Structure 1
Amino acid sequence: MDTLVDIFGYLTVVLNGINLVAMTMAFGSVLFLTCLALPLAAQLKLSADAVADAGARYARWGGIATAIATLSSLTLNALVLSGTLEMPVLQVAGAFFIEAGIVQVLAAIAIVVVARGHMTRPRVAVLTALALVMLVASLATSHAAARPGERLWMLLATFSHILGAGLWLGGLPAFLSSLGQAQSRDEGAAIGQRYSLMSITGVILIVLGAIGISIGFIGGLQGFYGTAYGAMAATKGVMLGILLLLGLGNFRTIRRFAAGQGESLTRVRRFVEVEIAFAIAILLAAGSITSQPPAIDLTDDRATWAEVVERMTPVIPPRLESPSHDSLAIPALQEKLDKEWRDQQASNRPQAFVPGAGELPPRNADDIAWSEYNHHWAGLVVLLVGLFALLERAGVRWAKHWPLLFLILAGFLFLRSDPETWPMGNVGFWDSFRDPEVVQHRTFVVLIIAFTVFEWGVRTGRWKNQALALVFPVLTTVGGDLLLTHNHAISNIKEQLLIELSHLFLAVLGVAAGAARWMQIRGSGRDARWAGWIWPTCFVLVGLLLLAYREA
C-alpha cells in the first residue's frame, strides 16, 4: 500500500491520458458510423460493409481499452482512498466518482457487445446512445461538474470540447482504415470529403469548448504561463495548431484527388497516420490537465512573467563542470545524520531522503548546478546527434553512425539523473522505483537504448525490414508523449512549474521529430524529402533547448 500511495500521482496522470485516448477513439468511431458509414452506404457500394466494419472494429477496441483503463483507475483510487482514510473498500465504493466510473465501464462494455454485429441503423442508434452515456458519465467526474455556480456552462463547454475531439480525432483510425477499403476514386473521394466535413465540425466544437474552458478554468493570460494547468493547456493548443495545419493539407489533397488532379489516397493516408500521432499526444496532454487544479483556483503560487522570462534566458556559457556528489544537499545531510546516528548509537539509521514520500527532496546551490550540468551535457550530445543526422542527409556517409551517440547519453542519464539513488546515492535500486520521477528517468534510459540499437542497425544496413525502421519514430513519439506525463508540477509548486515549462517544449519537438521521421519512411516524393530534413532539425532544437536550460 505504501508503494501504491508513493506512485499514485503519476499513475493517475498516465491512466487519465490512456482513458481519454481510448474513450475518444470509441466515441469517435461510433460517430464515424453515424455520420459517415451509414449515410454513404449506398454511394460506397462494394466497400460499404468494409467501411462500417472499420468503424465497428475501432469502437470495440476503444470500448475495451476504456473499460480496462477506467477499471484500473477506479481500483487505484479506491485502494488509495481506503488505505489513507482507513475506510473499508466497500464503503469507498459508494463514492460518487466510483458510481460514475462504473456507469462508464458498463457503457464501454455494452459498446463492445453491440458493435460485434452487422451495422444496421437501429444497432448504430443504440451504439450512439451508449457512447453518449459513456461521455456523460465521464463528464460527471470532470472539473466542470465540480464548479459551483457556473457548472452548467462549464459542462456545456467541456461537452463541446470532447464531442469535437470525437468527431475529428476519435474517428481518425476508422477513417484511415476506410481509405484503404475504397474500391474506386469516387468512393475514396466520397469518404474523404465526408470526413472533412466531420473534421471541420469537430474543429468548430473544439474551439468553442476551448474558449469556454479558457474563460472558466484559466481566466487570463497569467493563468496560461503561471500555472501547470495553463501551461499544459497552452502546449495542447500548440499541438492542436500543428494538427490543424496537417488537416488543412489533407483537406486540400482530398479536394485535388476528387477533382482528378493527380493526388493519391496513399498520400492522404500517410498524413492521417501523422495526424493520429499528434492526436494521441494532444489527448495525453488533456489527460494530464485533468490531474491539475484549474488555474483560476490558484492565486498564490503562480509564476510571474518576469520569472518565466528569467528562467527561459539561457545560461551563458553552458555549465560543463559538475559539482562533487558529496556537496549535494542529500549526501551532505545523510553524512550529518550518519554522524549523529553513530554518536548516539541509535538502532535505526535515519534517511536523508525517502523516495516517494510525497515530499520534495532538499536542494542547495550545488543541486541546481548538478541538474544544469546534466541538461547541458545531454543537450550537447543531442545537438551533435541532430547535426550528424543532417550531415548524413546531405550525403556524408560516415555520419550514419550518429545513433551510437545516444549510448553515451543513456549511460550519462543512468548515472547522473537521480544522484540520491543507486549507483551514486544511498537509496537502493529497487527502493528508488517508489519515486515516480526516477521511474520516468529509467524508462527514458531504456527507450534511448532501444532506439540506438534499432536505428543503428537500420542505418548501417544490418536490418533491412521496414518495420524495424519504424521503431525510431515510434520510440521518439513515445518519448515526447512521456514528457507530457513527466509532470514535475503535480502539486503546482511554482519552482517545479518553472522547470516543467522547458520540458513541454521538448515534448512538442519530440512528437514532431517522430512524426516527421515516420513520414520520411512511409511517405514518398516531396513529402519524404522535406520530412527527412525536419526531424534532424527538431533534434538540433532539442539540443539547443537543453543547452539553454536553467533552474535559477
Structure 2
Amino acid sequence: MNLFVDIFGYLSIILHGLVIVAQSMTLGGLSFLLLLLLPLAPSLARGASLERRVLRLTCTAAAGLILAELATTALQVAVLMATVDLPLGNVLQASFAIAGGVKILCAALILAGLNPRTLASRGGRLALLLVGVAELAAATFTTHAYARLDDNALLLAVEGLHQLGAAIWIGAIPAFVLVLHHLDEAQGLRQVGARFSRMSMAGVACILLSGVTMCVFYIGDWSGFYGTAYGVMVGAKIVMFLALLLLGLGNFRVTERLRKGQVAPVLRMRRFAEVEIGIGFTIFFAAASLTSVPPAIDLTADRVSLHEIAERNAPSWPRLSSPDHDSLAISQLQAQLDRDAERHHQVAQAATVPGSGVLPPRNAEDIAWSEYNHHWAGIFVLLIGLLALLGRAGVGWARHWPLLFLVMAAFLLVRSDPEVWPLGQEGWWAAWRDVEVSQHRFFVLLIVLFGAFEWSVRTGRLRSARAALVFPLLVAVGGAMLLTHSHQISNVKDQLLIELTHTPLALSGVAAGWARWLELRLPGRGGRIAGVVWPICFMLTGVILLWYREA
C-alpha cells in the first residue's frame, strides 16, 4: 500500500502535467480555429488544407486529453479506494471524479465536433465554444481554488482566467507553428501573424491579471516566495514566463514588420515559437507540481528564512573525498540488525525496504556522501560546458566531450543510492519500488542518451538532422523533470533548501536544451549566439552543483 501511495505521489504530477498540456492544446487549437483560421481561410491560398491540418492536430490533443484524464482519474480513484476502504460508487461521487468525468465528456464532444461540417455552421461553432467553456470550468474544480474556504468564487474565476490565458497563448502555439510551416504567401503571413499576435497579447493579459491575483491570495508576502516550496515553484514559473515574453516580443517585432510590408525573418519567428512551446509545456509541468504542495499562505510554520538560505549557501570548498560506505546510517543500521539476528539465531531484517514509505535514516556521513556526488557531478558538467566551447572554437579532440556524459552516468548509477546494488544490499530490481531511486535511474538513462546521441552526431556517425535534435530535447526534458523531483527527507526545511538548489539547476537545463535547439534550427547570427549560450548554461549548472550543500 505504501508503495502504491508513493508511486501515486510522483506519477500523479506527471499525469496531471500531461492533462494540462493536452487540455491547453485542445482549447488552444479550438480557439485558433474559431478565432483565427476559419475567419481568414477564405483569403488564404491554402486555407482549406491548413484547416484540415489544424483540425487533425486539435483532434489528437483532444484524444490525448481523454486518455490522460482517464488515467489520472482512475489512479486517484484507485488510491482513494485502497487507502480509505470506500466502495467504487461512493468514490465516484467525489468532486475530483465528477470533474474528471465532465472533462472526459467535454473532450469527447470536442473530438466528435471537430469536423468541417460542424465548423461550417454558426450553431456548430457556438456549441464547440460552449463545450470548451465547460471543459475549462470543470478543470478549475481540480485546482487549489476549489478547496479554499474564503473567496472561493473569486479564486475559481481567477483560476479559469489563468487557464484560459495559457490555452489561447501557449496552447495555440503548436497550431500557429503548423500553419507557419505550410504558409509561404506574404499576405497570408501578415494576416496570420497579426491576428495571432493579438490572441497572444490577450492570453498574456489573462495570465498576468490572474497570476498577480493568485500570488496575493496563495503566497501573501515575500517570505512566502523564498521560504516555501510553493513560492519557489511559482518563482520558477515567473522566470520561464519572462523568457516566454522575451521570445514573444521577438516574434511581435517580426509580425509588425510583416504588417508594414517590410522584409522580416519568418524562419526566426517559427524557431522562437518552437522554443515557446517547449518552455510553455515546462511551465505546465511546474503548475502540475504546485498541486502537490499547499499554498504558501497556509504554511506559516517551518518556513526557511533568508538567514538560513545565506548560511546554507555560504562559500565553501567542494567536497572531493567520500566517506566510507560502512559509515552511512543505513550501513550501520544493517550491521546492528545483522548482529542482533546472529545473537538470536534469526534471519536478519533488511534495514530498509524499497517502497515501504518509511524514510531511510540519515547521519552526517550521508550528507557528506550526497554532497560528494553533487560536487563531482558539477565537475563533470563544468568540463562538458568548457570542452563544448573549445570544440566550437575548433579544437578537434574536444568534440568527444559527450563521452563525459557516459562516465558521469556510471558514477551516478553506482553512487546515487548507496543502499542499492552494487554498493548496498537491496537488489537491482527490488530497488525500482522506491520512487526516488526510480527517478535517479530515469535521470541516469537521460544522461546516457545525452552522451550516446550527441557523440554520434559530433563524430559523424549519425548524420540525420533529427538525430541531432535528440540531445537538446533530452536536456530540456531533464530540466523539466527536475522540477518534479523530490527527496525523501523528513525535515521540511532541509528538503526546501535542497529544492532551492535544484530549481536553478532545472531552469539552467531548460535554457541549455532550448538554446542548443536554436543553434541547430536557426541559421545566422541567432544560431551562433545560441551556440555559445548553451555551453555557458552547462558551466553555470556545474558551478551550482559545486556550490551544493545539504548542511
TM-score, structure 2 as length reference: 0.97
In the alignment, is the contact (CA less than 8 A) between 2:359 and 2:489 conserved in 1? no
Aligned match of 2:26: 26
Distance 1:300 1:438 in 2: 29
1:151-550 to 2 correspondences below 5 Å? 151-314=152-315, 316-347=316-347, 349-488=348-487, 493-550=492-549
Match of 1:7, SS state, is: helix
CA distance in structure 2 between the partners assigned to 1:27 and 1:490 by the alignment: 39
CA distance in 2, matches of 1:86, 1:333: 35
Residue 7 of structure 1: aligned partner: 7
Q: Distance in 2 between matches of 1:421 and 1:110?
A: 48
- Contact 2:328-2:365 at 8 Å conserved across structures: yes
**Inter-partner Cα distance in structure 2 for 1:213 and 1:430:** 43
Whole-Å separation in 1 of the counterparts to 2:515 and 2:456: 20
* SS at structure 1 position matched to 2:404: helix
Distance between the aligned counterparts of 1:528 and 1:126, measured in 2?
44
Moved more, 186-195 or 34-43: 34-43
**SS of the residue 1:38 aligns to:** helix
Q: Does the CA contact (< 8 Å) of 1:6 and 1:434 recur in 2?
A: no
Q: Deviations over 1:224-244 (max 9, x none)?
A: 111111110110100110111
Bigger drift between 35-44 and 289-298 goes to 35-44
Contact 1:33 1:124 in 2 (8 A): no
Q: Which residue number in structure 2 is paired with residue 134 of structure 1?
A: 135
Taking the aligned partners of 2:202 and 2:330, their CA distance within structure 1 comes to 54
SS at match of 2:319: coil
User: In the alignment, is the contact (CA less than 8 A) between 1:477 and 1:513 conserved in 2?
Assistant: yes
SS in structure 2 opposite 1:39?
Answer: helix
Residue in 1 that maps onto 2:98: 99
Specify the code of the residue in structure 2 equivalent to 1:546: L
1:181-239 deviations in Å (ceiling 9; x for gaps): 32410101110111111111111110111111101111111111111111101101001
> Residue deviations 1:50-93, cap 9 Å, x none?
33334322321221111111111111111111111122233322
Please say which of residues 421-430 and 229-238 is displaced more in the overlay.
421-430
- Give the SS at the match of 2:401: helix
Matched residue SS, 2:402 = helix
Matches of 2:54 and 2:548, distance apart in 1: 45
Moved more, 289-298 or 51-60: 51-60
Q: 3-state SS of the aligned residue for 1:355?
A: coil
CA deviations 1:357-408 (Å, max 9, x no partner) are 3332211100010000000000000000000000111121211000001111
SS at match of 2:386: helix
1:31–1:171 contact (8 Å) kept in structure 2: yes
Judged with a 3 Å threshold, the aligned counterparts in structure 2 of structure 1 residues 94 and 140 are, in CA distance, closer, same or farther, namely same
Letter of the 2:198 counterpart: L
Q: Secondary structure of the equivalent of 2:262? A: coil
Q: Give CA-to-partner distance per residue, 1:39-58, whole Å, 9 cap, x none.
A: 323332x2222333343223
Where do residues 49-64 of structure 1 align in structure 2 (5 Å cutoff)? Answer: 49-64=48-63
Distance 1:297 1:4 in 2: 27
Q: What letter is aligned with 1:31?
A: S
The runs of 5 or more residues in structure 1 that have no matched partner are: none
The letter for the 2-side match of 1:253 is V
What's the CA shift for 1:489? 7.8
Closer, same or farther: CA 174–217 of 1 in aligned 2, 3 Å: same
Contact 1:386 1:539 (C-alpha < 8 Å) held by counterparts: yes
Q: Equivalents in 2 of 1:148, 1:490: separation in Å?
A: 30
Cα distance change on mapping 1:490 and 1:209 into 2, 3 Å = farther
Tell me, in whole angstroms, the C-alpha distance in 1 between the residues paired with 2:397 and 2:63.
Answer: 47
Cα–Cα, structure 1 residues 423 and 225, in superposed 2: closer, same or farther, change >3 Å? same
CA distance in 1, matches of 2:533, 2:88: 52
The TM-score, its normalising length taken from structure 1, stands at 0.96
In structure 1, C-alpha distance between the alignment counterparts of 2:488 and 2:410, rounded to whole Å? 26
Equivalent residue number for residue 150 of structure 2: 149
After TM superposition, the structure 1 stretch with the greater mean CA deviation from structure 2, 299-308 or 201-210, is: 299-308
Root mean square deviation, CA, Å? 1.6
Instruction: Tell me: CA distance 1:441–1:37, structure 2 relative to 1, closer, same or farther (3 Å).
Output: same
Amino acid across the alignment from 1:313: A
Q: State whether residues 338 and 349 of structure 2, in contact with CA within 8 Å, keep that contact through their aligned partners in structure 1.
A: yes
The CA deviation at 1:20 is 0.8
CA distance in 1, matches of 2:172, 2:480: 20
How far did residue 423 of structure 1 move? 1.4
The answer to whether the 8 Å contact 2:3/2:356 transfers is no
Contact persistence 1:50–1:181 (CA under 8 A):
no
Shift of the alpha carbon at 1:258? 3.2
- How much has 1:490 moved relative to structure 2? 9.7
How far did 1:432 drift?
1.1
Q: Deviations over 1:443-472 (max 9, x none)?
A: 111111111111101101111111111111
Bigger Cα displacement from structure 2, 369-378 vs 222-231: 222-231
Once structures 1 and 2 are overlaid, which stretch shifts more, 438-447 or 80-89?
Answer: 80-89
Q: Quote how far apart the aligned CAs of 1:247 are.
A: 0.6
- Give the whole-Å Cα distance in 2 for the aligned partners of 1:310 and 1:178: 52
Give aligned-pair identity as a percent: 49
What is the DSSP-based 3-state SS (H/G/I as helix, E as strand, rest coil) of the residue aligned with 1:40?
Answer: helix
Contact 1:488/1:497 (<8 A) preserved: no
